[in-house]
Amino acid sequence: MPRWFSISARRRSAALLALLAFPLVLAGCADNKAPRPAPTPPVQAVATSAKRAVPAPEKGSFAPVTSARSKVKYKAGEDPGFAERCGWPVNCPQPLPGSILPRKRIVAYYGNPQSKRMGALGEYPKDEMLRRLKGEVARWEKADPAHPVQPALHLIAVVAQGAPGKAGKYRMIMPDNIVSQVYGWAREANALLFIDIQTGHDDIRTVLPHFEWILKNPDVHLGIDPEFNLIKSRKVPGTKIGTYDAADVNYVSGYLRDLVKKYHLPPKVLTVHRFTRNGLTNYRSIVLRPEVQIVMNMDGWGAPWLKRDSYKDYVVAEPVEYTGFKLFYHNDTKKGDALLTPQDVLRLHPKPLYIQYQ
């Protein structure tokens, strides 16, 4: 979700420049009903279908790597020796009863029902969407029978906007009835619900409490998107890549921990989207808590070698707790490349335990 942003001088000349003109208004550790508001205004995506192209890597970084230990040639992101040198598996809290990870793999459909251009969740009618998700779950179960698959719907519940709106925050908070509707779909499919937040110019500390009413449910989890956190730069969403610091992630995980304790819930899963070096700063300062399972989700689109390289550089090289991987039905294939299969993704090391389809 634009990859026009350079990671280094060596990458600048090869960076992908793509920005659509939309209307603007097993990775990881060692082993209520809402009130009916006024009609919802149309959701206006901030070029989400074009702006997550993975930056081109430094010359040669995507070439197969030979492991000194086994003499096997690995593609970027697949070398277990590299992962081990980076600190995998991570020394993290022992999973509490009711934890989803690492026992299961989550496979999610991402999007917003008010927009067909923001992901699979809203692209198709509800019944077709759930049928397609069920098909993906079956493919992952076949590819890795050792890991049961937990389906999920990942709802963009706060959508970054290209105009300030009445609040002047460059974001739109979905009405509670829309959130309740998608939660109903998730329960129909025995799926989890993820609430995804794109803050724009708002503060995650102000926005997150708005969703306590839904997050207090045991099958509802959270995702945050650094790309659209532009409160420091004050730039318009879609014109600059945003960032979160470890302090922001620690606030969010602390908030979720408190909900787990307050409502006697099983641990929450927190996904943090990432596809640039500066998308997350001070990762070593992220606090790991037994009540919250943190997934660093590789969120870039592009050719398979670009995606592997991004996974290596921004997820494997900076270990936090668990890992995820995002697949774009349209943008990953727009230049003729085949969408990575479950078998392809399972060659990564560590293996992602959260898979997201947009």
pLDDT of residue 46: 60
Q: What is the pLDDT of residues 43-83, one digit of tens each?
A: 666 644 334 554 444 333 334 455 555 578 899 999 999 99
Question: Domain extents for the chain?
Answer: 94-357
Confidence tier at 321 by pLDDT (50, 70, 90): very high
Q: According to CATH, what is the number of the domain 94-357?
A: 3.20.20
Strands 149-160 and 171-173: antiparallel
Helix (H) or strand (E) holding 72: none
164: which 2 tokens? 């300030």
Q: For all residues of the chain together, what is the average pLDDT?
A: 86
Of 10-14, 117-121, 234-238, minimum mean pLDDT range: 10-14
Q: What is the dihedral sign for C-alpha 36, 41, 42, 47?
A: negative
Of 21-30, 165-174, 187-196, 328-337, minimum mean pLDDT range: 21-30
Residue 13 pLDDT greater than 90, yes or no: no
Residue 6 pLDDT greater than 70, yes or no: no
Whether the ω angle into residue 237 lies within 30 degrees of 0, i.e. cis, is no
pLDDT of residue 199: 96
Label residue 67 exposed, middle or buried (CB < 10 Å: 0-12, 13-18, 19+).
middle
Strands 65-66 and 73-74: antiparallel
3-state secondary structure 301-343: ECCHHHHHHHHHHHHHCCCCCEEEEEECCCCCCCCCCCCCCHH
Q: What is the pLDDT of residues 146-162, one digit of tens each?
A: 999 999 999 999 999 99
Average of per-residue pLDDT across 100-115:
97
Confidence tier at 18 by pLDDT (50, 70, 90): very low
Q: What is the pLDDT of residues 232-283, one digit of tens each?
A: 899 999 889 999 999 999 999 999 999 999 999 999 999 999 988 889 999 9
User: Angle 126-143/176-188 helices, nearest 10 degrees?
Assistant: 50
Average of per-residue pLDDT across 207-220:
98
